[in-house]
Amino acid sequence: MSRQILPLVLVLLAAQGSLAQKQQQEDPCQTKSRVVGDIDYCDRYWECVNGRPELFDCPNGLVFAGKHRGVTEGCDYPWRANYCDGKRQANPPIQTDHCDWLYGIFGHETSCTRYWTCWNGTATEQLCIGGLLYNERARSCDWPENVEGCQKHPLCNDDANGNVPLGKSCNRYWQCQGGYPRLQRCPAMLVFDRRSLRCVVPPTEDCDVPTTPPPTEGELSEGHNEQEPEEENLPPGVPPLPAGALPIPLRARARN
Ligand SMILES: *[C@@H]1O[C@H](CO)[C@@H](O)[C@H](O)[C@H]1NC(C)=O
């Protein structure tokens, strides 16, 4: 074993910095894209500049994905694919407020429904809507039961299996199931009654008989009642829910 490894190491040392002799490293000037990833470091790439290969670092926190791929400069979040399999990262993290690296998506320090997206070291607070919580592993909002340590949503604190009004909405409401909120819609022609916390035949004190026909399947158009801010009736301590808050699986359908 060691007899085989030593000559290889010597060859690599001899080839130090010289791309042509380093057998496995592709020369970007020999490729159509003019850009190739480094063979040792996943956060580095070679680009053909004025006919010669030049070494570049990805923006801090990103790794090379390929020309015109990733989120910027051909670089991507490392967890989006197996970019770093068998490779190391050359650059250590550069940290700023809320950002473990200059670029990335990071968990919130104090909230299960919020997280940070960092772009060049500038953090932007993001909010999970529709009763979802931030899933650190998936780097996205997710159903509460998939999120370790943040199992239940404060929306359901009062009654783990009760219904909760969704702002001023007349037909949508939260249904708590064992502390997990689910966005629900009353059957056609019924409205949500915030007193009995049930779907009832209108009119109620807050909701008239719907004047528009119920939305067809797969279409989640908003009634004008729902354009009002919807956070007003949430229990204290519950993060505000933007108007039109929908769980992720519904969002794609809601968009036209
Ligand atoms: C990133 O931010 C630094 C200053 O913090 C700035 O000098 C640099 O141009 C920025 N880079 C990009 C790509 O925006």
**What average pLDDT score do residues 53-82 get?**
97
* Token pair recorded at residue 55: 């070494």
Closest CA to 157 of 188, 180, 191, 133: 180
One CATH from 3.40.50.720, 3.40.190.150, 3.10.20.30, 2.170.140.10 for 104-146: 2.170.140.10
- The per-residue DSSP string of 52-97 comes to EEEEEEPSTT-EE--TT-SSBTTEE-GGGSSTTTT-B--S----BT
Instruction: Indicate where the chain has its CATH 2.170.140.10 domain(s).
Output: 104-146, 154-200
**Is the confidence at residue 240, as pLDDT, over 50?**
no
Q: Is 21 in the pocket of ligand 1 (CB under 6 A)?
A: no
CA–centroid distance, residue 46 to ligand 1 (Å): 21
Q: Could you report the per-residue pLDDT of 19-41, keeping only the tens digit for each?
A: 444 458 999 999 999 999 999 99
Most confident of 11-20, 30-39, 232-241, 244-253: 30-39
The pLDDT of residue 213: 56
- Give distance in angstroms: CA of 83 to centre of ligand 1: 24
Ligand 1 near 72 CB (within 6 A): no
Query: Which residue did the predictor score with more confidence, 166 or 8?
Result: 166
More confident residue, 110 or 169: 169
Better-scored residue on pLDDT, 230 or 75: 75
Q: How far is the CA of 126 from the centre of ligand 1 (A)?
A: 22
What is the position in ligand 1's atom list of the atom closest to the CA of 120? 1
Is the pLDDT at 166 greater than 70? The verdict is: yes
Q: Indicate if the pLDDT at residue 139 is higher than 80.
A: yes
Instruction: Provide the pLDDT confidence category of residue 157 given band limits of 50, 70 and 90.
Output: confident
Strand, coil or helix: 3: helix
C-beta 120 within 6 A of ligand 1: yes
Three-state DSSP class for residue 172? strand
Nearest CA to ligand 1 atom 7: 120
- What pLDDT, on a 0 to 100 scale, did the predictor assign at position 25? 92
Give the per-residue pLDDT at 200: 95
Separation between Cα atoms, residue 12 and residue 7, nearest integer Å: 9
Q: Average pLDDT over the chain, rounded to whole?
A: 77
Average of pLDDT values for 139-164? 83
The model's pLDDT over 89-138, given as tens digits with 9 standing for 90+, comes to 999 999 999 999 999 999 887 778 889 999 999 999 999 988 888 998 89
- Pocket residue to mutate for ligand 1, from 96, 120, 122, most atoms within 8 A of Cβ: 120
Tell me the residue type at 2. S
191-203: b (≥16 Cβ within 10 Å) or e: bbbbeebebeebe
Q: Which atom of ligand 1 is nearest to the CA of 102?
A: 1
Fold classification of 154-200 (topology level): Antimicrobial Protein, Tachycitin; Chain A (2.170.140)
